[in-house]
Structure 1
Amino acid sequence: MKILYIHQYFRTPYEPGGTRSYWISQELIKNGHEVTMLTTTERTMKSSVERETIDDINIVYINVPYHNAMGFMMRLISFLRFMLKSLEVAWREKNVDLVVATSTPLTVGFPALVLKKIKRIPFVFEVRDLWPEVPVQMGGLKNKALIFIAEWFEKTIYKNALHIVALSPGMYEGVVEKKIDKEKVSMIPNMSKIDSFWPREKNLDLMAELGLSECSFKVAYFGAMGASNDMELILNAGRLLKERKDIEFLFMGHGAMESVLKKSKEEEGLSNLNFYGNIAMSRLSEIVNFCDVSLVTFSNLPILATNSPNKLFDSLSAGKPIIVNSPGWTKDLVEKYECGIFVEPENPKNLADKILFLKNNPELVKKMGKNARLLAETKYDKSILCEEFADMIDAQIPQLKKSTSN
């Protein structure tokens, strides 16, 4: 079966960023399917469309710039450009049996919907964020008419999808609440990569290269530093712990808030904050490994409590206790499996106090780390969840044959 996979932010393990779609593609190929990926790239392109085969995935790169530092309007323009260009490219693809479209943004569902309506090619839709509710609650989308159109489009995508995959319990409920049959929705969360992040001896040479103390308690934050990630919470906790030379914060990633944090570091002399930008997964894994705890923070909005963040599952793989501040399923997860702690949203003192608490309780940190790794190995590893995704795709084949024969 030829699968056309539409993911605007697709990344391979050789690039910084989330690799869920890569590993799912590998499992689909292992099951005998052919995968063509429509996506964008951060590298400079010489033409509007470029094709490349990486690890048996046929990748079609579309020249539409996008980066985390963009404001809402620039992101929206990027989403719309990719939506139209991907439709143009998708329309020309031959012998497609199934489309898999993965958000965000919700606009990736448009080319899938057009192909279904006109060419009668069914599609599976993956919900990574509950759009348009995310931009609505964050204040990026305020126009009532646009909200109405976006909500109508969301329901249309769900109703026309052959099957829907939600990445968290909250997203699952959000889809079902739109009067979608539960039998049509699966919950397959983000994935741990136990062979990419794992507990091992600390790389002291790299620690020295980065100018870090061997004896300090290291707090890791890696991934997007956007408006939704409540970087202000971490910054304020860093301010409260400014005089503690035995506690260091390490930031890996990019985003709109990165420059704000760096400016505060320089102006206020916050030597306990360290920034390393976007780095390859192998180096990121080494740095996370010699850290003591990992931060997974989001702004205090109900919709963001439904998130299924990559950094949480990579932290589980690395065997690190996780500090979360969303009163949703991630709070339930770290408390149920005793692999981390919850801090109050918008309360930097609580975060600083919890960091000090963990620093002063190394045996608890060790226990939580072991629990985190065990959870990654037995419940969330990509080998488990990619197989579940591929099985879900194979389960649709009878319906695919039926829909194409009508």
Structure 2
Amino acid sequence: MHILFLTDNFPPEGNAPATRTYEHATRWVKKGHQVTVITCAPNFPEGKVFSGFKNKLYDVSNLDGIRVVRVKTYITANDGFVKRILDYLSFMISGFFAGLFQKKPDVIVATSPQFFCACAGWALSTVRRKPFVFELRDIWPASITAVGAMKDSVAIRLLEKVEMFLYHRADSIVSVTHAFKKELIERGVDGDKIEVVLNGVDLTKYQPSICKAPELVKRYNLDGKFVAGYVGTHGMAHGLEHIVSVAEQLKGNDDIRIVFAGGGAARKKVIDLVNQKQLKNVILIDRQPKEMMPKLWSLCDVSLVPLVNSELFKTVIPSKIFECMGMGIPTIMSVPEGEATAIIRDTNSGIVVESENVEQISQAIIKLYTDKAFYAEIKSASIVAGPKFSRDLMAEDMLDIFSRQVPNKKDDHTHDNQLSEY
């Protein structure tokens, strides 16, 4: 089977969409399938082309057996609605035209969170008369208004019409949460064509650490420190100003450090707040290459997973919780009650507190720092939970969905689905 996959995020970018697509695709290739990924020059999250790459009109390379086609787009930082829409539209157009020249795809897949990418996938499927699978990673454009990036308007309502059009036209929808599936059904989308494939963890890369990466411990002066880390994209949705306030509350305890590692639209705000408050217990680490992530995670005794207190974020599952499970790092989750909090509670892999509640987040860090027996219990439960969310299982589930859309290409192997339902 030839899988043609459209995504505007792909390695060396290290965010969740890029990682998910790459880790699935490598597994499909190992199963004997051909995978072509159409993407753009890596630039997320700063909106600057990565070193060693150029924003070329058309560039073809090979990454671990995946044929990668990079197209020219309008590249900008995530600093304005209009610029981002231009970015998305440029990929939609260039990605569509690039897709016309790919040889004999059997199924066309396009991923969100922004669905202009999915528009290109649908258009390609129509022209080439191939099944269209829409991978739904976010309810967009609702997430735009949820973080206050744009108010409800004619433009938003128009985007919602495009959104519903894509849901109805897709031959299959792959949702990353059960909550997304439920919402789509409530909005009139046929539930029979919606499948749920959660995010997961590559257990060949993310394993419990025997010790913290020595070179990083030395570089950031973390020897003997209990580290609570926020690792990942610094976005408007994460409310990181509250984590800075947590650091301010804990500044009297010299044994505890708060680490911010990553980049994104809210990065400068975090740096400015830390400098303004003159916090010496905060470590700021720039965005790192994806291959550095296990070492970076090894620094953390606890992972901080925040989201702002919005109704929309009840349906979101931050993908980093699975990497933390793989490494045996307890999670302190401060997000609205929903599917993500249920996973943490059901697996006993962390502590759930109220979204944006600085006091509760601070107390959770103190609890895990002081209560060694409790910490060991949560750490052990995290390690046990990891295999339930193995990327191998998720990639196999996706492949089964594709195969059902291409009956004559069905695999002859059987699949033992070990994923617990949430």
Aligned-pair CA distance for 1:141: 3.6
What is the aligned partner in structure 2 of residue 233 from structure 1? 242
Q: CA contact under 8 A between 2:107 and 2:405: conserved in structure 1?
A: no
Residue 69 of structure 1 deviates from its aligned partner by: 4.3
Give the equivalent residue in structure 1 for 2:28. 28
**Aligned with 2:14 (options 6, 13, 16):** 16
Supply the AA of the counterpart residue of 1:54: L
Counterpart contact for 1:249–1:274, Cα < 8 Å? yes
Q: Secondary structure at the match of 2:260?
A: strand
1:91 deviation in Å? 2.2
Residue 381 of structure 2: aligned partner: 371
1:353 aligns with 2:363: yes
Query: Deviations along 1:109-157, whole A, 9 cap, x unmatched?
Result: 1112212333322210100001121113223343532222212211111
1:218/1:291 contact within 8 Å kept? yes
1:310 Cα deviation after fit: 2.3
Aligned match for 1:315, one of 324, 342, 346: 324
Aligned counterparts, 1:179-328, within 5 A: 179-203=188-212, 205-326=214-335, 327-328=337-338
Alpha-carbon contact 1:68-1:254 (below 8 Å) kept: no
Percent of counterpart pairs with the same letter? 25
Distance verdict in 2 for CA 1:100–1:342, change over 3 Å: same
Letter in 2 for 1:100: V
- The one-letter code matched in structure 2 to 1:4 is L
Alignment partners' CA distance in 1, 2:152 and 2:378: 45
Mark the CA change 1:204 to 1:62 in structure 2 (over 3 Å): closer, same or farther: closer
Aligned partner of 2:339: which letter?
A: W
**Letter of the structure 2 residue corresponding to residue 171 of structure 1:** F
Distance of aligned partners of 1:259 and 1:64 in 2 relative to their CA distance in 1, 3 Å threshold: same
Counterparts in 2 of 1:334 and 1:184: CA distance versus 1, 3 Å: same
- Matched-pair contact (CA < 8 Å) for 1:69–1:226: no
What's the CA shift string for 1:254-307, capped at 9, x where partnerless? 012211221222232201111111113343312322321101111111112222
Distance 1:149 1:322, change over 3 A: same
1:76 and 2:85 are equivalent in the alignment = yes
Matches within 5 A, 1:70-109: 70-109=79-118
Aligned counterparts of 1:110 and 1:235: Cα–Cα separation in 2: 39
CA contact (8 A) 2:334 2:352 kept: yes
2:330 is the counterpart of 1:332: no
2:279 alignment partner, SS class: coil
Instruction: Give 3-state SS (helix, strand or coil) of 2:88's partner.
Output: helix
For 2:77 and 2:279, the matched residues in 1 are separated by: 24
Residue number in structure 1 paired with 2:4:
4
Q: Check whether the contact 2:403–2:409 (CA below 8 A) recurs between aligned residues.
A: no
Report if aligned partners of 1:130, 1:174 keep a CA contact under 8 Å in 2. no
Say if 2:398 is the partner of 1:389. Answer: yes
How far residue 207 of structure 1 moved from its aligned partner, in angstroms, is 4.2
Alignment-derived partner of residue 153 in structure 1: 162
| Residue in structure 2 matched with residue 344 of structure 1 by the alignment | 354
* Equivalent position SS for 1:124: strand
* CA 1:67–1:174: 2 relative to 1, 3 Å: farther
C-alpha displacement of 1:70: 3.0
Alignment of 1:37-56 (within 5 A): 37-40=37-40, 41-42=42-43, 43=50, 44-45=53-54, 47-56=56-65
Structure 1 pair 289–38 and aligned structure 2 pair: CA distance change class (3 A)? same
Instruction: Kindly tell me the number of residue pairs found equivalent between the two proteins.
Output: 398
Are the structure 2 counterparts of residues 372 and 117 from structure 1 closer, same or farther at C-alpha, using a change threshold of 3 Å?
A: same
Q: 1:143 to 1:336 in 2, by over 3 A?
A: closer
* Aligned AA (1:260): K
Of 116, 119, 130, the residue aligned with 1:121 is 130
Q: RMSD of the alignment, in Å? A: 2.0
The corresponding residue for 1:404 is none
Higher mean C-alpha displacement, 171-180 vs 383-392 = 171-180
CA contact (8 A) 2:76 2:83 kept: no
> CA–CA distance in 2 between the matches of 1:204 and 1:144?
49
Q: Deviations over 1:328-361 (max 9, x none)?
A: 1111111122111111122211111111111111
Calculate the TM-score normalised by the size of structure 1: 0.92
CA separation of 1:384/1:348 partners in 2, compared to 1, >3 Å: closer, same or farther? same
1:6-37 per-residue CA deviation (whole Å, 9 max, x = no partner) reads: 0111225xx53331101211222233321111
